[in-house]
Amino acid sequence: MTATLDWYGCATFRLRTAEGLTVWLDAYLDRVPDAEQSGVGVDDVTAADWILVGHSHFDHLWGAERIAVRTGATVVGSYESVRVLAAAGVPEEQLLAVAGGERVALDASTSVRVLPSLHSCVWSSQPMPPADEVCLGETGLTLQDRTERMRALWAGFGAMGEDVRAHMKAADQGERGDGGALVFVVETSEGSLLFQDSIGSWSGVLGQQAPDVAILAVAGRGNRDGEPVQGTTADFVTEQTAALGARTVVPCHHDDWLPGFSRAIDTAPVRAAIDRAAPGTALVDLGYASGYALFR
């Protein structure tokens, strides 16, 4: 056996190691009806040993509570994610709260290192730009400024139709923001996998990593060291790729997961930028549930 990686849309993946361990990366499987469907919902999940949640927003955390209760999986996430899941009925012994800097043993052959990270600048006036669109400005905003912009963003979801309103109501678990975004580096017997579920990072932290494969978010206004990226998404993803030195990059969060807010991101500009700046790295676009052989 060899490790496989399946993508189920947005930033949700299933990793199966060579030893048979099943690790879910995020858990957002039940999508609004108008979104393209992966064919797998939460009720279809019968196996999970661990769930690693990158941050507390509904499009990453929602579903983890049901998978954990049904399968007995242990969830690793921020203190906010753990608070939400405990309130949803996940037993405390199945919850591990982390903040970055921890190493968690998943089995005898697999461990995960937790790194502090950053959420994308979703409060930007350009929250979902095309990958080759240059975004400038909006630096120096206070937390209060950003919070006010976020209120306006969430209020806009109510105008997106009855299906979206019903979806948002079902997915509302009372999370208080993103809870502090995290990046995970899963170290297996065959190689290492870095998982980033939102397009933001501390450059000094990410630059210390050297995974074999990196899952990188390629949608949203990038966040470098707490300020919005001045330039394109493609260039920021390439900057991160070059810093990591991974031989393979798998994009995520780039499908149209919430029509009316999200958009399908064309990854061709990202591929072209990586080819120029990091020619030894391959960008591998996965289809849904494709069973990609991760370290071959």
Q: What is the pLDDT of residues 8-24, one digit of tens each?
A: 999 999 999 999 999 99
pLDDT digits (tens, 9 = 90+) for 191-243: 999 999 999 999 999 999 999 999 999 999 999 999 999 999 999 999 999 99
Q: What is the pLDDT of residue 214?
A: 98
Q: What is the DSSP string of the chain?
A: ---EEEE-STT-EEEE-TT--EEEE-------TTSPP-S--GGG----SEEE-S-SSHHHHTTHHHHHHHH-PEEEE-HHHHHHHHHTT--GGGEEE--SS-EEE-SSS-EEEEEE-----TTSS-SS--TT--B----S--HHHHHHHHHHHHHHHTTS-HHHHHHHHHH-----TT-S-EEEEEE-SS-EEEEE-SSEE-HHHHTT---SEEEEE-SS--EETTEE-SB-HHHHHHHHHHHHT-SEEEEES-S-SSBTTB-PPP-HHHHHHHHHH-TT-EE-PPPBT--EETT-
Residues sharing a CB contact under 8 Å with residue 105, sequence separation 6 or more, in sequence order: 111
Q: What is the pLDDT of residue 260?
A: 87
Q: What is the pLDDT of residue 43?
A: 97
Q: What is the pLDDT of residue 157?
A: 80
pLDDT digits (tens, 9 = 90+) for 35-86: 999 999 999 999 999 999 999 999 999 999 999 999 999 999 999 999 999 9
Torsion of CA 260, 263, 264, 269, to 10 degrees: 170
Mean pLDDT of 135-156: 93
Query: 74 and 82 in contact (C-beta within 8 Å)?
Result: no
End-to-end CA distance of the chain: 11
Query: 116 and 180 in contact (C-beta within 8 Å)?
Result: yes
Nearest C-alpha neighbor of 181 from the set 250, 268, 101, 120: 120
Q: What is the pLDDT of residue 1?
A: 87
Here the tokens at position 238 are 């390439």
Mean pLDDT of 93-103: 98
Q: What is the pLDDT of residue 160?
A: 87
Could you give the domains of the chain? 4-293 (3.60.15.10)
pTM here is: 0.97
Handedness of CA 42, 196, 94, 188 (dihedral sign): positive
pLDDT digits (tens, 9 = 90+) for 146-180: 999 998 888 888 788 899 999 999 999 999 999 99
